[in-house]
Every structure is written in structure tokens, then in C-alpha cells.
């Protein structure tokens, strides 16, 4: 059984979704367009974000400890992020009702999108294998809706601060190119 540790590591990698597909989105790609219902049941289209920086973060499930910490950190950092001209958009495979309840319970001040059919989660490569949940991934989109950063290894507590810092760096670099 010398191969048992290798098999176990491969199985863990598959189940956790840490192995990345060859066709995954990359920095510089145009973010795939989509429309979903938000936590108020209204239609949200990614195209509506054209001309603005966007933080698109995928999270596994509302009301779980890590997802709650991440959402509350974004809530608490929203002023810094909006001062950089960006908006935070959360996406999970929860229903509109679940998203509304999560937003209400934690006084969240940004939209949550319901991807209960996993179409967008699949489109962004963020669906966990086997489980019907999103991986915890964050995408930073520029005003042209091009992907400027992707974080596959998100710390739910530190994600909001990391995003604010990364946005500042990306915008400074973009300003130097103009």
C-alpha cells in the first residue's frame, strides 16, 4: 500500500476543488457575462458594472461560519472598497430567500446573487466537485470587465482587506500605464 498516501492526497484535492481545470479563467480574460436574481429578487446583470471596478466573490453557503466572517468583513470594509470606485457582489448557490435572510441577519450592505442552478458558479469554474456549493474564490474586474486578479486561496477573514489593497495596487498600476 505504498500508493495509499498519494491516492488519499489526490482524492482530497479532487473533493476540495484545489485542482484547477485547464480551461479555467485567467487574469486578462473578459469576465463571462451573466444575469442572476439578487437578494431582493431583482435582476442583476454583470454588464451593469461596465465602467466600474467590481469585486465578484463566490462563497460556499450562507450562514456558515467562514462565509459569515467573509461577508461581515466585506460589510465592515465597504467604505474603503467603495472609495476606490468598486462594488462588492457576493455569489453563492443559495436561493433568493436564503440570500435575503443572510443579508438581513448580518446587515450586509452589498448585493448577494442567488445562483441556485449553479450556472454562473460553473461558468467561473467555482463549483465544487460533487458538492452543490461554490468554492471560495474572489475575482477583481476592471471597468472593462476584464479579470485583473483571481484569488483561489481565500482567507475569509482577510479577503476584504486583501481586496482593498489589491484594488489600490491595480488602480495605481493602471494609472501609470495611461
Can 67 be counted among the known catalytic residues? yes
Report how far apart, in Å, the C-alpha atoms of 159 and of each of 94, 125, 131, 136 are.
21, 19, 23, 10
Report the distance separating Cα 77 and Cα 176, nearest Å: 26
Report the distance separating Cα 173 and Cα 45, nearest Å: 28
Report the distance separating Cα 46 and Cα 93, nearest Å: 17
The CA-CA-CA angle for residues 8, 61, 42, to 5°, reads 145
Choosing from 67, 71, 108, 164, the catalytic residue is: 67
Where in the sequence numbering do the catalytic residues fall?
Answer: 67
Amino acid at each position: 500500500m505504498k500508493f495509499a498516501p498519494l491516492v488519499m492526497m489526490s482524492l482530497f484535492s479532487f473533493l476540495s476543488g484545489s485542482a484547477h481545470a485547464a480551461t479555467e479563467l485567467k487574469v486578462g480574460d473578459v469576465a463571462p457575462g451573466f444575469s442572476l436574481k439578487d437578494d431582493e429578487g431583482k435582476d442583476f446583470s454583470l454588464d451593469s458594472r461596465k465602467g466600474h471596478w467590481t469585486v465578484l466573490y463566490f462563497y460556499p453557503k450562507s450562514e456558515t461560519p467562514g462565509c459569515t466572517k467573509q461577508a461581515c468583513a466585506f460589510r465592515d470594509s465597504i467604505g474603503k472598497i467603495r472609495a476606490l470606485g468598486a462594488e462588492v457582489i457576493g455569489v453563492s448557490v443559495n436561493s433568493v430567500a436564503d440570500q435575503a435572510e443572510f443579508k438581513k441577519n448580518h446587515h450586509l450592505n452589498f448585493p448577494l446573487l442567488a445562483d441556485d442552478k449553479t450556472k454562473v458558479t460553473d461558468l467561473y469554474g467555482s463549483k465544487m466537485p460533487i458538492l452543490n456549493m461554490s468554492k471560495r474564490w474572489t475575482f477583481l474586474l476592471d471597468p472593462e470587465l476584464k479579470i485583473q486578479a483571481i484569488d483561489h486561496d481565500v482567507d475569509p477573514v482577510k479577503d476584504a482587506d486583501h481586496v482593498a489593497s489589491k484594488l489600490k495596487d491595480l488602480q495605481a498600476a493602471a494609472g501609470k500605464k495611461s
